[in-house]
Amino acid sequence: MDEKRTVAGTGRRAMSDNYLTVIPTDPHWQPSKVAADRAAAMLSEMLPDDDARRGLEAMWHDSVQVVSCGANLETVSCHHCGGEFALGWWAEAVSERYAEGFSTLMVTVPCCEVEMSLNELAYDWPMGFARFRIEILYPNRAWLSDEELASLTGALGHPLRQILIRI
């Protein structure tokens, strides 16, 4: 996943864009500017080079946004019974909630008819929903380690989920 693909001869990266993104586990939570700056500075230190650091950006959103893992999404399943969802069902559930501005993320899942948040479904690869994110375009590295994620959680003041996005 930390491959760095370039188009031969141009020095430019090929078609697919890669992002490493961290989001609060609570989709509605937003940090103070100070806490966000602290976490962004720490995350910047975890990157291998200035190229990667230039791609780092902290973003606040007025409403909940989908933070997709793009082409990395393989399965979505139920954290209650383990049933795997048809991606068509899931995409429709997201569209319906999106049309309502994500005022709620709650859905009743078809497998066991339990009501749960779209943010709490089991995503492989991970993705989520958030009103704040720190994203890095072309991070030039793979997943953060558990220790790195724990340090960032301390800096931000809220548990985080990391997402590797391939577009």
Determine the interface stretch with Zn ion among 23-31, 48-56, 77-85, 149-157 (rule: CB under 5 A): 77-85
Residue-wise over 87-101: b if at least 16 C-beta within 10 A, else e? Answer: eeebeebbeebeeee
80: contact with Zn ion by CB under 5 A: yes
Determine the interface stretch with Zn ion among 35-43, 45-53, 79-87, 88-96 (rule: CB under 5 A): 79-87
- C-beta of residue 133 within 8 angstroms of C-beta of residue 26: no
- Nearest-CB residue for Zn ion: 78
**Share in percent of the chain as helix, strand, coil (round to 5):** 25, 30, 40
The pattern of x and - marking residues 26 through 55 that bind Zn ion according to CB under 5 A reads: ------------------------------
- C-beta of residue 108 within 8 angstroms of C-beta of residue 114: yes
Measure the CA–CA gap between 31 and 66, rounded to whole angstroms.
Answer: 18
Determine the interface stretch with Zn ion among 26-34, 60-68, 102-110, 144-152 (rule: CB under 5 A): 102-110
112: contact with Zn ion by CB under 5 A: yes
Interface residue with Zn ion, options 47, 78, 121, 130 (CB under 5 A): 78
Q: Which residue type does 156 have?
A: L
- C-beta of residue 64 within 8 angstroms of C-beta of residue 28: yes
110: contact with Zn ion by CB under 5 A: no
83: contact with Zn ion by CB under 5 A: yes
Neighbouring C-beta atoms of residue 60, cutoff 10 Å: 12
Residues near Zn ion (CB under 5 A), total: 7
111: contact with Zn ion by CB under 5 A: yes
79: contact with Zn ion by CB under 5 A: no
- Binding residues (CB under 5 A) for Zn ion: these are 78, 80-81, 83, 109, 111-112
